[in-house]
Amino acid sequence: MNVLAEVEDTRKLEAFREEANAWIKANFPESLKSKLEEYYQNMPRYPDGADWALWKERVRDKGWGTPGWPKAYGGGGLSTVEARIVQQAFVACGAFNPMTGMGTSLLGPTLLEHGNEEQKKLHLTRVSRGEVVWCQGYSEPGAGSDLAGLQTKAEDKGDHYLVNGQKIWTSGSRFANWCFCLVRTDPKVKQEGISFLLIDMKTPGVEVRPIKTISGESPFSEVFFTDVKVPKENLVGQLNKGWTIAKRLLQFERNATDTRRRQLAGDTRPMDEIAKEYLGVDEKGRIADPDLRQRIVRHMMEFRALKLMQQRMLDETKAGQGPSEFTSVAKNARARIQQEREELLIEIFGQQGLGWGTSNGDKYKQIELDTTRAFFSNKAMTIFSGTTEVQNNIIAKRMLGLLDHQ
Ligand SMILES: Cc1cc2nc3c(=O)[nH]c(=O)nc-3n(C[C@H](O)[C@H](O)[C@H](O)COP(=O)(O)OP(=O)(O)OC[C@H]3O[C@@H](n4cnc5c(N)ncnc54)[C@H](O)[C@@H]3O)c2cc1C
């Protein structure tokens, strides 16, 4: 692209950013601003009420719940960069995308690549309209990092598959209408005996049992399948070829882990501003505590580097290459930097970082309560979407070309 065309392109994108911001500001109901944290905490407490329904309807009609998907499936038909601008505009305006979830971030892009036309029309359209919530049935008690060791089986019964087995850590399954599931369709081979199946959670034989966590939330459950009949048309791709689809979805998942969640929540001021408020400043106007000051500065530099890394991922996607194995690098970096953020904030807050609720008369600000809960819940970042160690193995093998130690 020549320089003039590039300038023109940038100008158009900036105009589009202004348009996106203006539309969100004009249409996001004021009352939902206070629901932001509930929404961030995600599955357990979806907001409801008239304003929530109105916001969903407006975003749905605009196609901006899934801005980058084709219009034929209810999307906005925007380019990758424009779609990213819309997502950024939600955050910049203190709003949120009401259609976010595993349907939009994981299943959708995977079906766009691997689904047949009927599956795309039916499922993508429902997701982009915010009509269904999806959950991910990958992990099992004996198959987490060693995912291909999964045992939940689907037997061919002529006109349907009969599914029996158990999944675990299934986020949002209590609220999900559908589950994209990995099942064993050939017990004799490991990776080549796995298929990718879409299961309606209302099917008889599906049972969901919640698991409580240290953060006080219950974001996930165990899911049991007993003689669950699944229509044959719910198989995505070919029988026994689900592993390739499963891995592709994991790349979308690591990509999504990097771009959502915490930046939507609470106080988004730079950390040095928050630190100055709590710790005071020295005679030069710097954060008073020199040790903490140094660690905060280092953290802010790393946070900035992370943003640039995310930009690189966007460029990859723009060039039609991504998401790639690079998502493993970004996932690990994001998890470490995010966990460090909460640790530093709690140190900055001092005793105010020990808040849990306001019912016993304790005086805690929202940012303090949010951070304490995020401190606990984000411990999981180094586990979900594949543990840090497993990402390191992927980086070692697929990016650095090192030998497999196993
Ligand atoms: C908050 C949260 C949400 C989740 N949501 C979902 C969901 O919606 N759907 C779903 O299917 N799953 C979900 N999971 C499950 C998640 O994907 C698994 O927990 C993860 O893949 C790790 O598997 P595991 O728990 O069985 O641990 P294990 O695989 O048993 O690992 C235990 C430890 O051993 C290490 N380890 C294992 N293998 C190796 C190796 N080869 N080399 C080096 N170290 C190794 C691991 O890094 C880890 O430290 C969720 C998990 C969490 C915490």
- 362 Cα: distance to centroid of ligand 1 (angstroms): 36
- Residue 383 near ligand 1, beta carbon < 6 Å: yes
Q: Which ligand 1 atom sits nearest the alpha carbon of residue 380?
A: 53
In angstroms, rounded to a whole number, what is the distance separating the alpha carbons of residues 302 and 333?
9
- Rg of the Cα atoms in the chain: 22
Q: Is the peptide bond before 70 cis (omega within 30 degrees of 0)?
A: no
Residue 43: which of 226, 153, 204, 169 has the closest Cα? 169
Residue 62: which of 104, 97, 12, 13 has the closest Cα? 97
- 94 Cα: distance to centroid of ligand 1 (angstroms): 33
Nearest CA to ligand 1 atom 51: 384
Question: Do residues 223 and 206 lie in contact, with contact meaning Cβ atoms separated by under 8 Å?
Answer: yes
- 58 Cα: distance to centroid of ligand 1 (angstroms): 38
Beta strand residue intervals within 52-119, DSSP E: none
In one-letter notation, the amino acid at residue 91 is V
Place of tokens 């999944």: 167
Residue 91: which of 251, 238, 260, 205 has the closest Cα? 260
Please report, in tens digits, the pLDDT of each residue of the chain (406 residues total): 677 887 888 899 999 999 999 999 999 998 887 665 544 444 434 556 888 889 999 999 999 999 999 999 999 999 988 998 998 898 888 888 888 889 999 999 999 999 999 999 999 999 999 999 999 999 999 999 999 999 999 999 999 999 999 999 999 898 899 999 999 999 999 999 999 999 999 999 999 999 987 766 677 899 999 999 999 999 999 999 999 999 999 988 887 665 444 443 445 688 999 999 999 999 999 999 999 999 999 999 999 998 888 888 777 776 766 678 888 998 999 999 999 999 999 999 999 998 887 666 678 888 888 888 888 888 889 999 899 999 999 999 989 999 876 5
Q: Which ligand 1 atom sits nearest the alpha carbon of residue 102?
A: 8
- 154 Cα: distance to centroid of ligand 1 (angstroms): 23
In angstroms, rounded to a whole number, what is the distance separating the alpha carbons of residues 354 and 346?
8
Q: Which of 169, 213, 373 should be mutated for ligand 1, with most atoms under 8 A from CB?
A: 169
